[in-house]
Amino acid sequence: MSAPLLSVEGLRMHFFTKAGVVKAVDDVSFELERGRILGLVGESGSGKSMTGYSIMGLVDAPGRIVAGRISLNGTDLASLDERAWRKLRGNRVAMIFQDPMMTLNPVLRIDTQMVEAVLAHHAISRESALERCREGLARVGIASPDERLRSYPHQFSGGMRQRVAIAIALLNKPDLIIADEPTTALDVTIQGQILFEMQKLCRESGTGLIWITHDLSVVSGLADEVCVMYAGRIVESGTVDDVLEHPMHPYTRGLLDSVPSRNTPGRPLSQIPGMTPSLLRLGAACAFRERCPRAIDTCATAPASRAPLAGRTLRCVNPIA
């Protein structure tokens, strides 16, 4: 049984603001095997993006990782200094962001932005780097790469830009890619294409992929495993089939029920009542308590993460059986 590619244990990342401490990531643990795809699902403010940034070491003040281990291929990332981080970023672990119009620098050419990603980690000639970029663009299905390389980001469509971002992520053949809502800003049809291509690329190259999203339907088509996050904690995790077919946490159940395709036409959509709690004011109780149809007295103490079945984790004292 080989060691997993990525192992996150007890990760805690807090923001120390003037208004108080925001526990953006609160005791998050999961593992990812080589070539597997993990979906990190949650709504806005659940801490999923922050988890991604923590793994990349891109947490800026006033945020800070306060506890936990992040182990990539055996290296503990949380203990690295900035220079060591720079060697890893874009090289062994790459990130794809949500809106490529914002993440690609509008005044620099595509080739500049691709070549610099290669040259930052490999001492090769610019020509060789450029060749690698051409191959990279071809791999994500962009035709006439030379013309594309000399263009600027605003000359591409949204889907094309995201393909470029994916190509950049793959340039140095990373072990792990973290994709933060990369298809949210795109058309549904393009979304489907990109999902399919990402899946293929990861399987072919054995790259691990963490796909951060708020959209369950994306996860069901794409991922192998899923972690559901709420208020900075993982409330449920397991394989996609297991969790989506037999959800145990009431929040997961609520999410599934609110997806339009799962509701009968003509009847009002089911909703989770209430609103997400403020991360500043998390008390000692389970964060979902106020909105939970199955809340009982013991929910006054936030439950720890258990493993009710093989391959599943759960944070609930009154789960759906």
Partner 1 sequence: MLAFTIRRFGQSLFVLVVMSFLVFIGVYAIGNPIELLVNPQADEIERARATAALGLDKPILEQYGTFLARGAQGDLGRSFVFNVPAIQLILDRLPATLELALAAMVIAIALGIPLGLLAGLRPHSFAGRAIMAGSILGFSLPTFWVGLVLIMFFSVHLGWLPPNGRGETVALFGVQVSFLTWDGLKHLAMPALNLALFKLSLLIRLTRASTREAVLQDYVKYARAKGLGPRRVIGVHVLKNILIPIVTVIGLELGSVIAFAIITESIFAWPGTGKLLIDSINQLDRPVIVAYLLVIVTIFIAINFVVDVLYSVLDPRVRLGAAAAH
Partner 2 sequence: MGVLADDDTTPAPAAAAPVESPWRRFASEFAESRLALLGLAMLVAIIALALAAPWVSPQNPYDLAQLDVMDSKLAPGERSSTTGKPYWLGTDDQGRDMLSGIFYGIRISLFVGVTSTVIALAIGLAMGLAAAYFGGKVDAVIMRIADIQLSFPSILIALVLLAMLGQGVGKIIVALVTVQWAYYARTVRSSAMVERQKEYIEAAQVLALSRPRIVFRHLLPNCLPPLIVVATVQVAHAIQLEAALSFLGLGLPITEPSIGLLISNGFQYLLSGKYWISFYPGLALLATIVAINLVADQLRDILNPRLKK
- Whether residue 136 contacts residue 170, with contact meaning beta carbons closer than 8 Å, is answered with yes
- Residue from 107, 188, 304, 321 in contact with partner 1 (CB under 8 A): 107
Name which of partner 2, partner 1, none residue 154 binds, using a CB cut-off of 5 to 8 Å depending on partner kind.
Answer: partner 1
- Residue from 6, 8, 88, 129 in contact with partner 1 (CB under 8 A): 88
- Residue from 24, 168, 223, 240 in contact with partner 1 (CB under 8 A): 168
Residues 136-195 within binding reach of partner 2 (CB under 8 A): 180-181, 184
- Residue from 5, 6, 32, 45 in contact with partner 2 (CB under 8 A): 45
The DSSP call for residue 218 is: H
Does 215 bind partner 2 (CB under 8 A)? Our answer is yes
Spatial separation of the C-alpha atoms in residues 70 and 74, rounded to whole Å: 9
Residue of 294, 298, 315, 318 lying closest to 238 (CA atoms): 315
Give the C-alpha distances (Å, rounded to integers) separating 53 from 48, 57, 79, 126, 303.
9, 6, 15, 30, 26
Residues 251-280 within binding reach of partner 2 (CB under 8 A): 255, 258, 260, 269-272, 275-276, 278-280
Structure tokens at 270: 């089911």
Tell me the closest approach of the beta carbon of residue 24 to partner 1, in angstroms: 16
Query: Which SS3 state, helix, strand or coil, does residue 125 take?
Result: coil
Residue of 212, 223, 264 lying closest to 50 (CA atoms): 212
What φ, ψ does residue 216 adopt, rounded to 5°? Answer: -60, -35
Stretch that binds partner 2, among 88-96, 127-135, 159-167, 207-215 (CB under 8 A): 207-215
Binding site for partner 2 (CB under 8 A): 15, 17, 19-20, 22, 24, 43-45, 47-50, 53, 98, 180-181, 184, 212, 214-215, 232, 255, 258, 260, 269-272, 275-276, 278-281
